[in-house]
Structure 1
């Protein structure tokens, strides 16, 4: 039994990078969601246009996280 250390290091690096990207995208989605006013009520609500843009950005971030998770599950299930 022989381990290809270069390939193992490549898989580790890619996994670490994808994990970091997903965490950042989810954090940006949460920040945009809160900025859109879906968190705590604020004393002065933002403009409707900014609220819609922030909601769209949040949903895009969450959708990208979901897509990465679905792709990983698909890789695992199909073998």
Structure 2
């Protein structure tokens, strides 16, 4: 039995990068929602922060859906 260490390393690096990117995007989404609430408390609208958070959450959902597609296909 031979282990292809190069392929294993590639899978590890891609999985680590995907986890980091997904975590950062989700954190920015939460931060955007918080910034919207802060802006609304100070009399602003917070539309830009809300739009940014929706984009971050949409990208997170797309990455998760693509991962599920890769597993199921």
Q: TM-score, normalised by structure 1?
A: 0.84
Asked if 1:66 corresponds to 2:38, the answer is no
Alignment deviations for residues 23-53 of structure 1 (CA, whole Å, 9 cap, x no partner): 000000000011111xxx78943412xx111
In the TM superposition, structure 1's runs of 4+ consecutive aligned residues that sit over 4 Å from their partners are none
Count of residues in correspondence between the two structures: 73
Q: Which residue, out of 50, 55, 60, partners 1:55?
A: 50
Structure 1 partner of 2:42: 45
1:13 and 1:56 mapped to 2: Cα distance?
31
2:62 and 2:9 mapped to 1: Cα distance?
25
Structure with higher helix content: 2
Q: Which runs of 5+ in 1 are unaligned?
A: none
What's the Cα RMSD here?
1.8
